[in-house]
Amino acid sequence: MDDLSEAVDCLRRAGLVAFPTETVYGLGADARLDAALERLYRVKGRPGSHPVIVHVGSVEAAKACSEGFSTAAERLAGRFWPGPLTLVVRKAAWVSERVTGGQDSVAVRVPSHPLALNLLRAFGGPLAAPSANRFGRVSPTTADHVRADLDGDVDVILDGGPCSVGVESTILDVRTESPVILRPGGVTQEELEAVLGQPVPVQGTESLRVSGSLPSHYAPRARVDVVPEKDVEAAAAAQRARGARVKVLTAVDVEAHNLYASLRRADEEGAAVVVAPLPAEEGLGRAVVDRLRRAAGPR
C-alpha cells in the first residue's frame, strides 16, 4: 500500500495523519468523527474550547461546511484558494462543536500543497487539522519537526519537504461584508485589500502590544527578545554579560520560510535567549512580527 492509501485508510479508521501544507504541517483527523476529534485534541494537548481549522479540497466542499457564503468570501476563495487563507464563516449544522470550540462559526481552508490536495481528494472528506505541534509550541515546517514533537502519537506522517510559506495561514472573519483579519499569515493584508477594494483591519494588534496581555504562543523553550535590527548586537552583548547562552538571529533567519526552523535550532543548540531583529511590518513581515511577539510572550 502506498503512503497516500495508508493515510486515507488510517483517517477512515479515526486515525491521525500529519501532512504537509504550504504554510506548516497539519495534524489531520476526520472532521465528522467524534472519536477522531477526541484523539486529536488529546494528542495536541489542546483545550476543547479552542477551535481547529477544517481543511477541504475545493470551494464547493468549503461551502458544504458553511451556512451562507458572503460575496466577500466568494471573491476571496476564488482568488486565493487553494492557498494560505482561512475563512471564518457561519457553520453548517453538521459541523461538530468539537471542531468549532462550541461556537457557531467554522474556519475553513483549501491548502495548496500538492500532497495536501492529493490527500484531501483521495480521502474525499473534511479534515480537522491544527498545526502538528504540541499546543503552544513552535509550528512544524518539516516532517522531522513533526517527528520530534509527536512521534508515537501520530499514525502516519506524510513527508512533503519543507513548507514554502513557513508561517500559518491568514485567518479572516468573512461573516460580514467588512472582513477582519484575526491572524496575519501567508496571504497579506495588502493582497486582501486589493481584491476587496476596501480596508481590511487586523483585529487585536493593538491589544497585543499591551504589556501583559500578549499570549505566549508559538514559543521555543528559549526566551525570545525581539529588538530593532540596529540594536541586535547590543541586546546580545547585554545578555552575554549576564552569562546567558545567546543565539542571535539574522534577517534571513526571520524570513517567514526560515522562522520556525531557526527558533527550533536555537533550542537544539541549547540557547537560553534568542535575540531576533524585528522585520518591517508589511507584507509577510506582518505575520512574522506577530509570531515573534507571541514567541516573546508577555513582558
Q: What residues make contact with ligand TXA under the rule CB under 6 A? A: 21, 23-24, 26, 50-53, 86, 88, 100, 103, 105-107, 111, 129-131, 168-169, 171, 182
Q: For CA atoms 28, 34, 36, 37, give the dihedral sign.
A: positive
Please report how many Cα atoms fall inside a 13 Å half-sphere around the Cα of residue 287, on the Cβ side. Answer: 27
Helix H or strand E encompassing 106 = strand 105-109
CB-wise, 95 or 275, nearer to ligand TXA?
95
CB closer to ligand TXA out of 108 and 273: 108
Residues 6+ apart with CB under 8 A from 59: 77, 78, 81, 110
Taking the least distance from each CB to Mg ion, the nearer of 131 and 258 is 131
Q: Does 141 bind Mg ion (CB under 5 A)?
A: no
Residues near 138 by beta carbon (within 8 Å), at least 6 away in sequence: 145, 218, 219, 220, 260, 263, 264, 295
Nearer to ligand TXA, 82 or 111 (CB): 111
Tell me which of ligand TXA, Mg ion, none is bound by residue 88, counting a contact when its beta carbon lies within the kind-specific cut-off of 5 to 8 angstroms. ligand TXA
Nearer to Mg ion (CB atom), residue 112 or residue 131: 131
Does residue 189 bind Mg ion (CB under 5 A)?
Answer: no
Cell numbers given for 106? 467554522
Which of helix, strand or coil describes residue 95? coil
Task: Determine, following the binding rule CB under 5 A, whether residue 239 of this chain makes contact with Mg ion.
Answer: no
**With 0-12 CB in 10 A as exposed, 13-18 as middle and 19+ as buried, what is 162?**
middle
Question: Site for Mg ion (CB under 5 A): which residue of 23, 105, 131, 170?
Answer: 131
DSSP string, 19-36: E--SSS-EEEEETT-HHH
Stretch of 55-63, 102-110, 128-136, 281-289 contacting Mg ion, by CB under 5 A: 128-136
Min dist CB 147 to Mg ion, Å, is: 17
CB of 233 to ligand TXA, least distance (A): 33
Site residues for Mg ion per CB under 5 A: 131
